A and B are shown apart, each in its own frame.
Chain A
Amino acid sequence: MIPGDFQPQRPTSRQMVKLGVLGVVALGVFVAIVLGLTFHISAWLGQPVVFARSEGPDQPIAFPHTTHVQELGMDCTFCHRNVEKEAAASVPATGLCMTCHSAVGDDLDEIEKMRSLYEDGRSIHWVRVHRVPDHVHFVHEAHIRYFSEKDGIEPSQVCQTCHGDVKEMEKVKQVETLKMGDCVSCHKENSAPTDCATCHY
């Protein structure tokens, strides 16, 4: 065969089918990868934002912070008693609710629910709203102490820095992303340590 004499072979119909199948499979794989990436990236970036915009989860008992804090003027630390002492802010036992509600709010369904739980000696299984990512040790006490000393404010006025205006929330929802970016930028602003082992251990 001399150069230039080359005749490209026409693909047989069998080869055409093979190529077609391969093309479809490759297209499918590509679409799957794009969809997967989109899902993961949007989940990573968007989850807390979506969460923050959303209503917040339904609780077993529709406890209104508005009534207790806004109308009655109760202090955050009255119920979340541990917040000035330890790592966890703590949610009170039903016994604390009953100090008032043994006498108050007789005709309300939600209070009856709580009372029956109290009488059975069971606790309320609240749905957790705020959760920092894994491997983080967040301590409420140190943060409350620092900000209330720095700004000369009551401990209960510090809460809204991360939790938003809970007293106006019918249903508690997350307002900050509570991701590491939030923590680190605030730590930098307040020249708090940014060593990994401050929180991760």
Chain B
Amino acid sequence: MADSQDRKWGMVVDIDRCTGCNGCVVACQSENNIPNNLEEHFNQRRAIQWIRIERYWEGEYPNVKARFIPVMCQQCGNAPCEPVCPVYATYHNEEGLNVQVYNRCIGTRFCANGCPYHVRFFNFWEPEWPESLKNQLNPDVTVRSRGIMEKCSFCVQRIRRSTREGERDEVQVEDGDRALSPACVNACPTTALTFGDFNNDSSQVSMMKEEAMANRGKKEGRGYRLLDNLGTEANVIYLKKVDNSAGAVHGH
């Protein structure tokens, strides 16, 4: 536990690799005991998806392209959701995680209103699963009850478990370890998502971050943060889509 103080978790999302398959969404639902979202929940805008795929259409027919962005909690370094909580149920920990403490939450929903990414979800109902799915609930994750807020935790239960098991078996838990990585990262078939420690210079994420952020603003620089102008200092870095066909479409 001693070294846990100086870790800072982050993620790099390569939009160029994302095919919009929703594998991460399903993996997240089952890892984190998220109740089944029925059609009416979506219609009421009350569906819970800790990670979602946003779909955008680009171009005019017949040159229409679908663009996908996986959006999860950005674990902001300067999070708008934190100062508004009257009961200190959401706060920033030493590992750079924006933590939601379920047993403190009283359900004011201020945080969800403060969040510019729409990644906080309120439990409007008591969570329900079909009978056949009740035994698949993850015992490492709290089942949230009605009236409290929840959001992506970067699968903190996996971080805790892998750290502990690493200490038990005296092995170093490396970044990119499947036991450490969140469910969405493990599920991604095209490795569009990369998770790791930004404070560890040799980790894959920090190298990707460094490369992406070094060329920011330049043509070859692909790195950006969502809604960066708000100053949220998000810990999720996105890499722009590389569109080789863009030139052809416009006749260059």
User: A: which residues have CB within 8 A of B?
Assistant: 85, 133-135, 137, 139, 141-142, 145, 192-193, 195-198, 200-201
Q: Are A135 and B97 in contact (CB under 8 A)?
A: no
Interface residues as binary, B1-20 with A (CB distance below 8 Å gives 1, 0 otherwise): 10011000000000000000
A200 touches B153 (CB 8 A): no
CA distance A130 to B93 in the complex (A): 29
Contact in complex: B103, A197 (CB < 8 Å): no
Q: Check if A142 sits within 8 Å of B157, measured CB to CB.
A: no
Q: Which residues of A contact B101 (CB under 8 A)?
A: 196-197, 200
Tell me, in angstroms, the Cα distance from A133 to B224 when the chains sit together: 42
- Which residue of the partner chain, among B1, B5, B141, B156, contacts A197 with CB atoms under 8 Å? B156
Looking across the interface, which residue of chain A has its beta carbon closest to that of B5?
A193
| Contact of A200 with B103 at beta-carbon distance under 8 Å, contacts A145-B168, A193-B1 already known | yes
A196 touches B99 (CB 8 A): yes
A201-B168 contact in complex given A195-B93, A196-B101, C-beta closer than 8 Å: no
- Asked if A141 contacts B168 (CB within 8 A), the reply is yes
Majority SS at the chain A contact face: loop
B164/A201 in contact, CB under 8 A: no
Q: Are B140 and A197 in contact (CB under 8 A)?
A: no
Complex-state Cα separation, A85 to B167, whole angstroms: 12
A139 and B164 contacting across the interface, CB-CB below 8 Å: yes
| C-alpha spacing A139/B167, complex, angstroms | 13
| Contact of B102 with A by CB under 8 A | yes
Q: Which residues from A are CB-within-8-Å of B156?
A: 197, 201
A-side contacts of B103, CB under 8 Å? 133-135, 200
Which A residues are in CB contact (< 8 Å) with B97?
197
Within 8 A of A (CB), among B72-97: 91, 93-95, 97
Q: Does B160 contact A (CB under 8 A)?
A: yes
| Pairwise interchain contact A201-B157, C-beta atoms closer than 8 A | yes
Give chain B interface residues in 1-42, CB to chain A under 8 Å. Answer: 1, 4-5
Chain B interface residue bracket vs A: 20 to 34
CA distance A192 to B160 in the complex (A): 14
Closest 6 CB pairs of A and B: A135-B103, A197-B99, A195-B93, A201-B156, A196-B101, A135-B142
B167 neighbours in A (Cβ, 8 Å): 142, 145
Residues of A within 8 A of B168 (CB): 85, 141-142, 145
Q: Are B94 and A195 in contact (CB under 8 A)?
A: yes
Contacts of A135 in B (CB 8 A): 102-103, 142
Chain A residues positioned under 8 Å from B99 (CB to CB): 195-197, 201
Contact partner of A142 (CB less than 8 A), chosen from B4, B153, B164, is B164
Given contacts A134-B103, A135-B103, A141-B168, contact A197 B142 (CB under 8 A): no
Q: Which of A135, A192, A195, A197 has the most CB of B within 10 A?
A: A197
The interface residues of chain B lying within 8 Å CB-to-CB of A133 are 103
Complex Cα spacing A127 to B4, Å: 37
CB <8 Å contact, A201 and B142: yes
B104: nearest residue on chain A (CB-CB)?
A196
Other than A196-B104, A197-B101, give 13 A-B pairs with Cβ distance below 8 A.
Answer: A134-B142, A193-B1, A193-B4, A195-B95, A196-B91, A196-B99, A196-B101, A197-B93, A197-B153, A200-B103, A201-B142, A201-B156, A201-B160
CB closest chain-A residue, reference B4: A193
Q: Is the CB of B1 within 8 A of A192?
A: yes
